Amino acid sequence: MKQTILCLDMEWVLTPEIWEEVSKNTGIKELMLTTKDIADYDELMNYRKLHMNNNWLTLSKIQEVISTIDLLPWAIDFMNWAKDNMQVVILSDTFIEFAKPLLKKMWNPTIFCHNLIIEDNKIVDYKLRIKDQKTEAVKRFKELNFNVIAAWDSFNDTGMLNEANFWFFFKPGKKATDAFPNIPVAQSYEELKTFIEKSL
């Protein structure tokens, strides 16, 4: 029997969307935009940097906001259950400098994400771990003979999801369910647990 590794997105699966929370807290409405609004990630990050600099928004201020963000209800119970039953890795396009305060609330699970480049407490750039790290990570897990299960809230990472042995939507938007009508949809952690248990 293969060992199982569960790959989870962080934002909207375990936590709220970080940039949206920062936007609400700081009043910088331009930071509310996500890849749903600007698909090109480099273009989106340049847009964010412009408005962070225009508003003198520092990394420490952003981290202060993030430290006040609560996990989604029952997320910690789900994570505890998952870690008791399989390996768990968070695959995210966030940055480790943003993720740390939230990871502490989950007892520091393993995360693969990216890095920010900081100068004088300002975000000046970012560095991807590797291109399309999520897909590459899932490929490597399969090569290591893991049964790979993935749970995501959207269809932006179809390359990674198609590589997984099993994958599920967790509280997805209508675009996701319209694009992939045959993918099981979990509207709660209990439903997600049931899907995962059937995939072990």
**What is the DSSP secondary-structure string of 129-188?**
SSTTHHHHHHHHHHHTT-EEEEEESSSTTHHHHHHSSEEEEES--HHHHHH-TTS-EESS
- pTM recorded for the entire structure: 0.93
Strands across the sheet containing 122-127: 122-127, 110-119, 87-95, 4-8, 147-152, 166-170, 185-186
pLDDT in tens, 9-57: 999 999 999 999 999 999 999 999 987 788 788 999 999 999 999 999 9
pLDDT in tens, 176-185: 888 888 899 9
**pLDDT tens per residue across all 200 residues of the chain:** 789 999 999 999 999 999 999 999 999 999 999 877 887 889 999 999 999 999 999 999 999 999 999 999 999 999 999 999 999 999 999 999 999 999 999 999 999 999 999 999 999 999 999 989 999 999 999 999 999 999 998 877 888 888 999 999 999 988 888 888 889 999 999 999 999 999 99
- For domain 4-15+73-114+129-197, the CATH class is alpha beta
Q: Which two tokens stand for residue 24?
A: 């609400």
Question: Where are the domains positioned within the chain?
Answer: 4-15+73-114+129-197
Can you give the C-alpha Rg of the chain in angstroms? 17
Residues tagged active-site? 9, 11
